[in-house]
Amino acid sequence: MQLALYEPDIAQNTGTILRLCACLGVAAHIIEPAGFPVTDRAFRRAGMDYLDQVTLRRHVSWTGFDAWRRAGKLRLVLFTTRATTSYLDHRYGDDVLLFGRESSGVPDAVHAAADARLTIPMRPGLRSLNVAMACAMAVGEALRQAAGSSG
């Protein structure tokens, strides 16, 4: 399992997500352009000294990322408020979990390219969670399933 951020807007969220990936041993991908300079300095506050422990790959565009993941035959799992399937009902495998921009999610072409589209169910009238919180929930469930299937 790997985690990808599509054109992230907020450096602090990205730093927090990279810290999550470092702690849990999940490879991270940033699909550029980002809404901030993609540098260690931009991530340092939230990522602290964990940034040296994360496997991070930067992709200069969606097209480049999509070609990379298709070549690796990796399933793309998009987390979106536009989905109807709960992330708890999905069977995770050799997946890249994709999260969109904080401000606007992902464009229709990226949405259409996903092999699965999942949502985190919330109370009616509430729009969305912080992306770092959503990543933690999704990665936690995927790792839980992986641990259960290895025995």
- What is the secondary structure of 1-28 as a DSSP string? -EEEEES---HHHHHHHHHHHHHHT-EE
Confidence (pLDDT) at 89: 97
Confidence (pLDDT) at 49: 73
* CATH, residue 36: 3.40.1280.10
Confidence (pLDDT) at 38: 79
Query: Which stretches of the chain score pLDDT less than 50?
Result: 151
Confidence (pLDDT) at 45: 59
pTM of the model: 0.92
- Beta bridge partners, 56, equal 28
Length, in residues, of the chain:
151
Q: Let me know: does 54 contact 16? Beta carbons within 8 Å.
A: no
Write out the residue range of the structural domain in which residue 131 sits.
2-149
Return d(Cα 79, Cα 91) in angstroms, integer: 14
Q: How many domains does the chain have?
A: 1
